[in-house]
Amino acid sequence: MLTINLGIIGGGTVGGGVYQALKKNGSLMASRLSVRFRIAGIAVRNPRKKRLPHIPQSLLTKDWKSLVQNPKVNLVVELMGGTTTARTVVLEALKLGKSVVTANKALICEHGEELFSASEKYGANIYYEAAVAGGIPIIKVLRESFSGNRVQSIHGILNGTCNYMLCQMRESGLDFKTALQQATDLGYAEADPTLDVDGYDALHKICILASLAHGHWIDSSKTHVEGIRNILPLDVHFAQSLGYSVKLLGVVKTTSIEKKGIRPRIQVAVHPTLIPLDHVLASVNGVFNAVYLKGDRVGDSLLYGEGAGANATASAILSDLGDAALDHAFGSHRRVPPFVPHSESGSILPQSETVSPFYLRLSVVDRPGTLAKIAAILAESEIGISSVMQPEGHEGKSVPLIMMIHDAREASMNQALKKISRLKVIKAPPVLYRVENFID
Ligand code: NAP
Ligand code: HSE
């Protein structure tokens, strides 16, 4: 039986999960794949730190470089996070012709092109199933299972921390800080949780999916990102009473069909979104992620599973270990390259040009004529109102005024909001969320 010696860099939530998963299911994998995995070492910052699950001291080292360079190590597993040392670790491994398994979406999103070309140059491969949507095998699905489809849209709940927090805030009335602490304690949040709550982690993931779907590497700095930091329980509550759930959604849409040399424009963004309560994504709760994908052959499909945490992520890593080991065994380490640019290249549609319905909440003075003033400004910009709600029972100087807005261009909406904000009857900055009704 072939033995693959692993050099694991990182023994935190995911590294510990992989250690435990191999302990529990390593022999099952060996019986299925005829490959035995042996951990040669696990590099960490502080080998003396107390770890759960416990990792024997004999496996721990501070010296990731020696572990990567160890001639016995034939597969490097990068689970340290970040984009600086992690990039060096991966490049170092590739230069030695060693393939790499990583869960690091920030690294793949920001340095993917460089790392993929290094892997080609040095005859190695990069496997990154765990980088997107935890235990859901979405990379394999997009790259292999749906290779016969033109992907028309992807809507993804891609951050377990945010989805968990939004559910806890809605169902248990937790405040933002407590909900984030719980997500951190459960091992869902990034070492820097601002990546989660400000939407960047989901952005890294949706950019990877958009790149695989459209065949050209998406520059995440050209895409729109908004996190969940400013979502108030008030808006979650109002959305619910209007028949919507609020989710942090990653969105990829093709806005025009490729024809006669016209390149498709692709909308790629992450933002809080109101989705109908009867849509399947509305029932994705807690740490669960889901990817709702429309292909021109397959139609609608949904992938669902735990999006973060030690076990779900370890499941994706083990799947990559299996692929890497079989590629190694059959000498076909580039059977499925990490990313293949193809003809569906296109440009990113600026967010200001996107069109969608909106949820708008204004804090207004409760006085006759207020609604007329606001409606007049919206009408000037040819923005239609589909419904208005002024919940009763609010005291004080201002009351909430909620408007559901028909399809509108984002630039027109922002322009109108600037004018509305200047009205004397407006008492706080407007709150605006996009609505997704999943209608083509
Ligand atoms: P983590 O718990 O913070 O673990 C990071 C590990 O890397 C720790 O063991 C740390 O050592 C080690 N490390 C950091 N810098 C190092 C250095 N310079 N040299 C040697 N070791 C170093 O992070 P994590 O949650 O496991 O996440 C790891 C990666 O997986 C990240 O890229 C993350 O985005 C990704 N990911 C995480 C999840 C999840 O649910 N947590 C899911 C999917 C993907 P010490 O233990 O001594 O501090
Ligand atoms: N922090 C990430 C999340 C980990 O909460 O989704 C999984 O990628």
**Per-residue pLDDT tens digits for 328-368:** 999 888 899 999 988 656 789 999 999 999 999 999 998 89
Nearest ligand, measured from the Cα of 199: 2
Taking only the tens place, the pLDDT of each residue in 314-329 is: 999 999 999 999 999 9
**Probe ligand 2: pick from 190, 200, 306, max atoms within 8 Å of CB?**
190
What tokens were used for 366?
A: 């409760």
Report d(CA 336, CA 120) in Å as an integer: 12
CA of 330 to the centre of ligand 2 (A): 33
Smallest CA separation from ligand 2 atom 4, residue: 308
Question: What mean pLDDT do residues 193-203 have?
Answer: 98
What's the confidence (pLDDT) of residue 367?
A: 87
> Using CA atoms, how far apart are residues 188 and 205, in angstroms rounded to an integer?
15
| Cβ(17) – ligand 1 distance below 6 Å | no
Ligand 2 surroundings by CB, under 6 angstroms: 134, 159-161, 188-190, 196, 201, 307-308
Per-domain residue ranges of the chain: 2-134+310-329, 139-306, 351-435
Of the candidates 98, 105, 205, 247, the residue annotated as catalytic is 205
- Ligand 2 centroid–CA 35 distance in Å is 29
**18, 42, 44, 195: residue to mutate for ligand 1 pocket, most atoms within 8 A of CB:** 44
Residue 102: CB atoms within 10 A of its CB come to: 29
The CA radius of gyration of the chain, in Å to the nearest whole number, is 24
User: pLDDT value at position 149?
Assistant: 96
- CA pair distance 110, 291, nearest whole angstrom: 22
Task: For residue 103, give the ligand 2 atom closest to its CA.
Answer: 8
| pLDDT-wise least confident of 54-63, 73-82, 341-350 | 341-350
Q: Which ligand is nearest to the CA of 228?
A: 2
pLDDT at 255: 77
Query: Per mean pLDDT, which range of 46-60, 276-290, 321-335, 387-401 is the poorest?
Result: 387-401
pLDDT value, residue 391: 83
Three state DSSP letters for the chain: CEEEEEEEECCCHHHHHHHHHHHHHHHHHHHHHCEEEEEEEEECCCCCCCCCCCCCHHHEECCHHHHHHCCCCCEEEECCCCCCHHHHHHHHHHHCCCEEEECCHHHHHHHHHHHHHHHHHCCCCEECHHHCCCCCCHHHHHHHHCCCCCEEEEEEECCHHHHHHHHHHHHCCCCHHHHHHHHHHCCCCCCCCHHHHCCHHHHHHHHHHHHHHHCCCCCHHHCEECCCCCCCHHHHHHHHHCCEEEEEEEEEEECCCCECCECCEEEEEEEEEEEECCCHHHHCCCCEEEEEEEECCCEEEEEEEECCCHHHHHHHHHHHHHHHHHHHHCCCCCCCCCCCCCCCCCEECCHHHCEEEEEEEEEECCCCCHHHHHHHHHHHCCCCEEEEECCCCCCCCCEEEEEEEEEEEHHHHHHHHHHHHCCCCECCCCEEEEECCCCC
Same fold flag, 2-134+310-329 and 139-306: no
State residue 88's pLDDT score. Answer: 98
- d(C-alpha 385, C-alpha 92), whole Å: 57
- What pLDDT is recorded for position 260? 56
Q: What is the pLDDT of residue 264?
A: 73
Q: Residue 256: its pLDDT value, please?
A: 61
User: What pLDDT shows up at residue 392?
Assistant: 76
Please state the atom number of ligand 1 nearest to the C-alpha of residue 191. Answer: 3
pLDDT, position 346: 74
Flag whether pLDDT at 312 surpasses 70: yes
pLDDT at 257 over 60: no
For the Cβ of 208 lying below 6 angstroms from any atom of ligand 1, the answer is: no
Q: Say how many Å lie between the CA of residue 250 and the centre of ligand 2.
A: 13
Q: Tell me, what's the pLDDT at 395?
A: 60
pLDDT for the residue 292:
98
Q: Give the CATH superfamily of 139-306.
A: Dihydrodipicolinate Reductase; domain 2 (3.30.360.10)
- Grade residue 265 by pLDDT with cuts at 50, 70 and 90: confident
Name the residue with the closest Cα to ligand 1, atom 18: 45
Distance 429 CA to ligand 2 centre (A): 31
- How close is the Cα of 94 to the center of ligand 1, in Å? 20
205 is catalytic: yes
Please indicate whether residue 16, judged by its CB atom, sits closer than 6 Å to ligand 1: no
Report the nearest atom of ligand 2 relative to the CA of 158.
6
Ligand nearest to the CA of 13: 1
- Classify 351-435 by CATH class: alpha beta
For residue 104, give the ligand 1 atom closest to its CA. 32
Give the model's pLDDT for residue 394. Answer: 67
Instruction: Give the distance (Å) from ligand 1 centre to CA of residue 245.
Output: 32
**pTM (predicted TM-score):** 0.97
The CA-to-CA distance between both ends of the chain, in Å, stands at: 52
Decide if pLDDT at 262 tops 70: no
Of the candidate CATH numbers 3.90.1260.10, 3.40.50.720, 3.20.20.70, 3.60.21.10, the domain formed by 2-134+310-329 belongs to 3.40.50.720
pLDDT one-digit tens code per residue, 203-231: 999 999 999 999 999 999 999 999 999 99
Question: Measured between alpha carbons, how far is 385 from 224 in angstroms, rounded to an integer?
Answer: 25
